[in-house]
């Protein structure tokens, strides 16, 4: 069974950092792009960042570029999101999702349940 | 950025009746070289992550009931639930994957009348 399981969320002060992880199983992890999508409380879905199968190409939403870093460890079947200089408007549930291909342009065919990030003093 | 506009924001439909959701892209998502529309639809039930329903604008994901169908091309798309069931109560999102950043519509909440 294909599964994605996020961890690492929590409460952090503005300006602080968090590192999210997403453990993947049930598919050949390195063959697919992976992505992070967030959902602020009561709001819609927002793509945050994506990474190619080998990890050599990364893409970011403009508002997180320079603050967030996406990476992956294919030996551990794990996706990461390092979040620095966090702001209140980064508060959201963060889901990892699998792209249908290894590339930049994909739909997400498997989603994790998400981990909650709350930025507040 | 590609802006995806969904309508209506919410709709209430009787059990067994048809539900129709519209999605309009600010620019075409039809890639001329392969004649494919880079448009997907997702269903999100309360407390759950999104679930892929439709990709390439009209291809149903494996396991998705055939009462769900997608249509449209270029900038205008439709998700139709032909006979609404109680388990279809959810928020539905369209997403374009033609351009970075990948963008979603604002969502349409479907309820039972």
Could you read off the pLDDT of B15-52 as tens digits, one per residue? 999 999 999 999 999 999 999 999 999 999 999 999 99
Residue of A nearest to B56 (CA): A107
Q: What pLDDT score does A58 carry?
A: 97
User: Could you check whether the bond before residue B101 is cis, i.e. omega within 30 degrees of 0?
Assistant: yes
Residue A43: which region, alpha, beta or left (left: phi > 0; alpha: psi -120 to 50)? beta
CA distance B82 to A6: 35
Residue B80 predicted with pLDDT over 90: yes
CB contact under 8 A, A45 and B107: yes
CA distance A86 to B79: 36
Q: What pLDDT score does A103 carry?
A: 85
CB contact under 8 A, A100 and B55: yes
Coil, strand or helix: which one is B10?
strand
Q: What pLDDT score does A104 carry?
A: 86
**Residues in chain B closer than 8 A to A22 (CB atoms):** none
According to DSSP, residue A31 is labeled G
Enumerate residue ranges in chain A where pLDDT < 50: none
> For B61-89, what is the mean pLDDT?
98
User: Which of A44, A59, A114 is facing B104, going by the closest CB pair?
Assistant: A44
Question: A90 near A119, Cβ under 8 Å?
Answer: yes
Going by their DSSP bridges, the two strands A10-12 and A92-99 should be labelled as unpaired
Instruction: Provide the number of CB pairs (under 8 Å) joining chain A to chain B.
Output: 57
Q: What pLDDT score does B68 carry?
A: 98
Q: What pLDDT score does A87 carry?
A: 98
């Amino acid at each position: 069974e294909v599964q994605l399981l996020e961890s690492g969320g929590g409460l952090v002060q503005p300006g602080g950092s968090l590192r999210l992880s997403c453990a993947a199983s049930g598919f050949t992890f390195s063959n697919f792009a992976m992505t992070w999508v967030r959902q602020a409380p009561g709001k819609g879905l927002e793509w945050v960042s994506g990474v190619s199968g080998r990890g050599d190409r990364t893409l970011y939403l403009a508002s997180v570029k320079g603050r967030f870093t996406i990476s992956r460890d294919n030996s551990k079947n794990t996706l990461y999101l390092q979040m620095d200089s966090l702001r209140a408007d980064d508060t959201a549930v963060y889901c990892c999702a699998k792209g249908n291909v290894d590339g930049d342009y994909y739909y997400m065919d498997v989603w994790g349940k998400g981990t909650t990030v709350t930025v507040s003093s | 950025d590609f802006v995806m506009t969904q309508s209506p924001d919410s709709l209430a439909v009787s059990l067994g009746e048809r539900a129709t959701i519209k999605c309009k892209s600010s620019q075409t998502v039809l890639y001329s070289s392969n004649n494919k529309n880079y448009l997907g639809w997702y269903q999100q039930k309360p407390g759950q992550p999104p679930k892929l329903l439709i990709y390439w604008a009209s291809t149903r994901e494996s396991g998705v009931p055939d009462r769900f169908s997608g249509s449209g091309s270029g900038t205008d798309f439709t998700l139709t639930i032909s006979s609404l069931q109680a388990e279809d109560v959810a928020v539905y999102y369209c997403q374009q994957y033609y351009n970075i950043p990948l963008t979603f519509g604002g969502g349409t909440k479907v309820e039972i009348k």
